[in-house]
Chains A and B, each alone.
Chain A
Amino acid sequence: MILTGNKIIEEVKSGKIEIAPFDKKRITTNSYDLSLGDTLIRYKTGVIDPKQKTPHEEIKIPADGLVLQAGEFVLGHSKERIGSDFYVPLIHGKSGTARMGLFVHVTADLIDIGSHGVTTFQLYTTLPIRLHAGMLIAQVSFWVPFGDIVLYKGKYQNSTGPRPSMTYKDFKYDIFKKN
């Protein structure tokens, strides 16, 4: 079951959903619109090796915006801190930005229950696009879980900006083990 916009407002008020800052005007029928924060991350390496820490640079989006070329990939972040210990959030593009050829995630739309922080956008564009800080770029929906809840305690908790991948940390915990 997916929450309606009215239910999202109710649960933000009751504290079961965190969206901060929260602006009622951004509620849609089944979601809440997220805006793009002002920091982007670009990897600085020829080939990503998930076993290694990947060097990256941070870019501030200038006042007149920043153009991404078709095929470019950068990480961005929501201005809003989001999360819930009671519902499962899912990230979607806004149809307006999708019509410009922009992916806001790369098949990883699911957020763990109990994960709180600004969300990292995986920005991949199929057409040239000018990104502006503050633009409404994505939306978050909330879904009812079934079963006992164990909250997220992972490595991306309490993010305050875009977070590059940290698979090199998993390496210690056997993600490459050939079981």
Chain B
Amino acid sequence: MIESVVIFSGLTLVLGLILGYAAIRFKVKGNPLVDQIDAILPQTQCGQCDFAGCRPYAEALAKGEAQINQCPPGGQEGADALAELLNVETLALNEEHGESKPRHVVYVDEKLCIGCTLCIQACPVDAFVGASKVMTTVIEDECTGCDLCIPVCPVDCIYVREINPTLLTYVPTIPGEAFV
């Protein structure tokens, strides 16, 4: 009888120590849900959701302080994906936050640019190259199409260019689902 008590007390002690150590050693830093939400968001960093970027929005969503339908660049698909992740009913996109536009980038009409650097400061992903009083241009590969630079330009020399499918990026449609 005394043996079993000793054995089990010993076991409890050892396992407890291991568990206690593991809880400290493998502590999850930060909220993993934020990362999961952030992975779904389109990373446009446009701020149309009324937060300063995709990550702040993800944090607000994780805390339950925002709705899942505030991200126009993510489109309805994005809202649906968020609903699935958060296990809530999906919502139609909130039009107050803007409309979902096809993927695009911006470019600068370099003849008009006066080098005011306002766009450089507005760009959330540092996609502009330029300096004070010199011509500025966009690295189109880095542009997320957030359009934040367009309203700040004092000479309106930033334009939108839509990205059309090319032969290399073409995705064929699957055959019609109308089975007879």
> Does B associate with A?
no
List residues of B whose CB falls within 8 A of some A CB: none
